[in-house]
Amino acid sequence: MECIAPRLPIAAAPDSRGDAARCSACAMQKICIPKNGDSSTLISIEAIIRRARSLRRGQYLYGAGHTLHYLFAVRSGAVKTIMRTSDGREQIVGIYGPGDTLGLDGLATGQHALDAVATDESSICLIPYDMFRQLCHDVPAVQHRLTEIMGQQVIRDANLKMLSSMQPMEARVVAFLIELSQLNVRRGFSPREFNIGMTRAEIGNYLGTTLETVCRVMSALSRDRVIEVQGKRVRVLDFDSLRARLDSSSTRTSTANLTPRPGTLDRVSQKQPQTRSKRQIRDYALEQSPFG
Amino acid sequence: MECIAPRLPIAAAPDSRGDAARCSACAMQKICIPKNGDSSTLISIEAIIRRARSLRRGQYLYGAGHTLHYLFAVRSGAVKTIMRTSDGREQIVGIYGPGDTLGLDGLATGQHALDAVATDESSICLIPYDMFRQLCHDVPAVQHRLTEIMGQQVIRDANLKMLSSMQPMEARVVAFLIELSQLNVRRGFSPREFNIGMTRAEIGNYLGTTLETVCRVMSALSRDRVIEVQGKRVRVLDFDSLRARLDSSSTRTSTANLTPRPGTLDRVSQKQPQTRSKRQIRDYALEQSPFG
DNA sequence: CGAGGGATTGAATGGAGTCAATACACGTGG
DNA sequence: CCACGTGTATTGACTCCATTCAATCCCTCG
């Protein structure tokens, strides 16, 4: 099996001359490196990170069951993480672009739980995990950054769950496009133009629908002059219209309020004088106010 | 707003006499505490954990925007984490039962990104985050455990994504039931009988469908003598039938192979002699074999 | 230039959402 | 103790949106 990077212990990679990364010159630096660390922090990180390797579309970064040897940072391109059903079909469970960190699925057991595959030509930095762990121990700022990254992953996953639960399929695709746009911004690029680093089939899989539906929605958006599409290249023409299509035709799957809303009393609930409303206000278990 | 636990700095809670937890006596110990730590580790953890507080159904543990003051460990009951759409509808993004850890959504920014609400009467341990962080720094085993927990969360989220992408709605509900059963085992209880700590509406929301559909599927399973249902109490009668309903009627959303399958060559791919197949075998970027 | 993978569009079927009525369980107050 | 009310669960009937199946187009690469 082919590889772009060395197995541990390090074997010389074909295109490898001096294996250290040049983080100080990397555009993704702001995302990868702890902000609050001093210059020595950056240096110590640079010392262990292996410079970027390039992947072709379809190449595996790691597979479920592999020992966790590296964490990965995407420099450019796009990578998906996938899970397989018993009967072999795949489900995409995460997508990663420039500045994102991969491999966290291996932290629990030391073995990766997912497959990671490039969906596009990509460039990836390797972070040997044992060295990184040592660094975490020595440099609190690095440990803190790792914690941050894991915390971000959790939030990301929550957002994904939200996204792929949206009611009409149109809303899902729209939410997906908005998400991509926002990610693009976070990476310092334009919110109005970007490319989806994957096929329609992959988008469909990711969003829990079919490639045809994705196509139809994007065609419709294109016809209505909300976006322009050419293959994987997307340009947003009208953000307001785009956002408008999120709520419109909101079905009722998430019925009324499963849970009482934020702050103050409900009009209805006036009929209970001092025995604090049992359900009409948020019932906090801790003595702190929101945003406290 | 009412609370079961003190705001920092600690205020006396009504039912609080001596605030330390008794982890050494807790059934969830094996799940909460680092395995590889010595007895002093357990003691130092016990020293900072506040003993369990009880929550009524609907009570908030924390809300999006709150400062991260505690991590939480579920002792008994059930808690959901939710996100809200711009127009106020809620989406359940996670469910947590005995032995699970909550609050990780606050690690990235120091503010919680989600709401956490009890879906059932629950008992929750509080772990003051600043002290815990200090402990992480002092005791590597604790840091390691935190990393493990975060890693598990990532895997959990991936599983959830998988689960709620299943094709026929029946499969989703079935997968959900199996999941619950497995969790129950992990907690040392029976795989055959358990209670779903939430309403049909919440299940529907969680699975991305409606409460009616959930009802119908469970009725059907019940009619076919695969499970027995009484309200939130479920008893599995026939695990094989249950699992059988996962793949059956597998639609094709995740079309053929988006990505080439595991190991060996495809029959088709024989027609490329030595120029290593470009797509018919897994194309590993790293020089390690699966499960290496 | 031909082959193959990806994207697009059409037409038909069916599954799941929607609306609505009813049953059930629980806690409250008369 | 029972009537009542609210929240939850169950079941039915109808409609429609998304999946399916299928045909065509486009682009890239050998």
Domain membership flag for residue B280: no
Q: Is pLDDT above 90 for A88? A: no
Closest CA to A91 of A75, A109, A114, A122: A114
| pLDDT averaged over every residue in chain B | 82
Residue-wise pLDDT for A155-198, tens only, equals: 999 999 999 999 899 999 999 999 999 999 988 899 999 999 99
Does residue B143 sit in the same domain as residue B184?
Answer: no
Does residue A73 share a domain with residue A176?
Answer: no
What is the percentage of chain A residues whose pLDDT exceeds 70? Answer: 79
Q: Are residues B127 and B220 in the same domain?
A: no
The rounded Cα A55 to chain-centroid distance in angstroms is 19
Chain-centre distance for alpha carbon A126: 18
Residue B161, chain A, CB below 8 Å: the answer is yes
Q: Which of A230-244, B50-64, B223-237, B250-264 has the lowest mean pLDDT?
A: B250-264
What is the structure's pLDDT at A268?
Answer: 36
Is strand D within 7 Å of residue A120 (CB)? no
C-beta of residue B154 within 8 angstroms of C-beta of residue B94 = no
- What are A73's strand-pairing partners? A101, A125
- Domain assignment present for A159: no
User: Is B208 a domain residue?
Assistant: yes
Report cis status (omega within 30 of 0) of the bond before B9: yes
Residue A25: inside a domain:
yes
Report in angstroms the alpha-carbon separations of B128 from A151, B6, B142, B257.
Answer: 17, 11, 14, 47
Residue A283 lies in a domain: no
Same domain, A130 and A100: yes
Pair (B130, B263) in one structural domain: no
CA/C1' separation A271–D5 (Å): 15
Mark residue B188 as left, alpha or beta (left: phi above 0; alpha: psi -120 to 50; beta: remaining).
left
Residues B230, B100, single domain; the answer is no
pTM: 0.86
pLDDT digits (tens, 9 = 90+) for B122-155: 999 999 999 999 999 988 888 999 999 999 999 9
Contacts of B273 (CB under 8 A, 6+ apart): none
Nucleotide nearest to A275 in CA–C1' terms? C28
Q: Return the nearest residue to D10, CA–C1'.
A: B215
In this structure, what CATH number is given to the domain that contains residue B246? Answer: 1.10.10.10
Say if residue B264's pLDDT is above 50: no
State the CATH number of the domain containing residue A132.
Answer: 2.60.120.10
Q: Are residues B140 and B243 in the same domain?
A: no
Smallest Cα–C1' distance to nucleotide C24: which residue has it? B231
Could you give the CA distance from residue A259 to residue B114 in angstroms, rounded to a whole number? Answer: 13
- pLDDT at residue B112 is higher than 60: yes
Average of per-residue pLDDT across B265-286: 46
Q: Is residue A164 in some structural domain?
A: no
Any idea which nucleotide's C1' is nearest the CA of A211?
C7
pLDDT band at B3 (very low <50, low <70, confident <90, very high): very low
- Closest partner residue to A259 (CB to CB) among B1, B117, B148 is B117
pLDDT band at B234 (very low <50, low <70, confident <90, very high): very high
**Model confidence pLDDT, tens digit, residues A105-139:** 999 999 999 999 999 999 999 999 999 999 999 88
Question: Which of chain B's residues have a Cβ under 8 Å away from the Cβ of A286?
Answer: 3-7, 60-62, 69-70
Cα–Cα distance, B98 to B187 (Å, whole number) = 7
Least confidently predicted of A119-123, A184-188, B14-18, B192-196: B14-18
Could you give the angle at the alpha carbon of A115 between the alpha carbons of A111 and A119, nearest 5°? 150
| pLDDT, tens digit, 9 for 90 and up, residues B61-85 | 999 999 999 999 999 999 999 999 8
Average of per-residue pLDDT across A40-51: 81
What does the pLDDT look like over B34-45, one tens digit per residue? Answer: 777 677 777 778
Q: Which nucleotides of D are covered by protein (CB under 7 A)?
A: 7-13, 17-22, 27
Residues A142 and A11 in one domain: yes
- The number of domains in chain A is 2
pLDDT tens digits for range A252-287: 554 556 777 544 333 333 333 333 434 445 677 765
Angle B169-B172-B173 (CA atoms, 0-180°, nearest 5)? 95
Q: Which residue has the higher pLDDT, A41 or A201?
A: A201
Which 206-265 residues of chain B touch chain A by CB within 8 A? 208-211, 246-247, 250, 252-255, 257-262
Name the residue facing A285 among B53, B83, B201 (closest C-beta).
Answer: B53
Most confident option among A24-33, A160-169, B20-29? A160-169
CB contacts of B147 in chain A (<8 Å) are 107, 146, 150
Residue percentage of chain B with pLDDT more than 90:
58
CB B14 within 8 A of CB B65: no
Domain extent at residue B189: 169-267
Q: Which of residues 126-145 of A touch B (CB under 8 A)?
A: 136-137, 140, 143
Contact B287 A11 (CB under 8 A): yes
Q: What percent of chain A has pLDDT over 90?
A: 59
* pLDDT bucket at B283, cuts 50 / 70 / 90: confident
Same domain? For B148 and B88 the reply is yes
From the C1' of C15, which residue's alpha carbon is nearest?
B168
Q: Which tens digits make up the pLDDT trace of B250-262?
A: 555 545 567 875 4
pLDDT value for B170: 96
- Note whether A114 contacts B81, CB cutoff 8 Å: no
Chain B window 190-249: residues with CB closer than 7 Å to nucleic chain D are: 199-201, 211-212, 215-216, 218-219, 229, 231-232
> Is residue B129 situated within a structural domain?
yes
3-state secondary structure chain B: CCCCECCCCCCCCCCCCCCECCHHHCCCHHHHCCCCCCHHHHHHHHHHCEEEEEECCCEEEECCCCECCEEEEEEECCEEEEEECCCCCEEEEEEECCCCEECHHHCCCCECCCEEEECCCEEEEEEEHHHHHHHHHHCHHHHHHHHHHHHHHHHHHHHHHHHCCCCCHHHHHHHHHHHHHHHHHHCCCCCCEEECCCCHHHHHHHHCCCHHHHHHHHHHHHHCCCEEEECCEEEECCHHHHHHHHHCCCCCCCCCCCCCCCCCCCCHHHHCCCCCCCCCCCEECECCCCCC
Least confident of A183-192, B2-11, B205-214: B2-11
Residues A64, A125, single domain; the answer is yes
Distance CA A45, CA B223 (A): 60
Q: Helix B169-186 to helix B140-163 angle, to the nearest 10 degrees?
A: 160
Contacts with A214 from chain B: Cβ below 8 Å: none
Higher-pLDDT residue of B76 and A14 is: B76
**Do residue A105 and residue A197 come from a single domain?**
no
Say what the pLDDT of residue B69 is.
Answer: 96
A90 in contact with B, Cβ within 8 Å: yes
pLDDT value, residue A16: 43
Residue B1 included in any domain: no
A142 and A194 both lie in a single domain = no
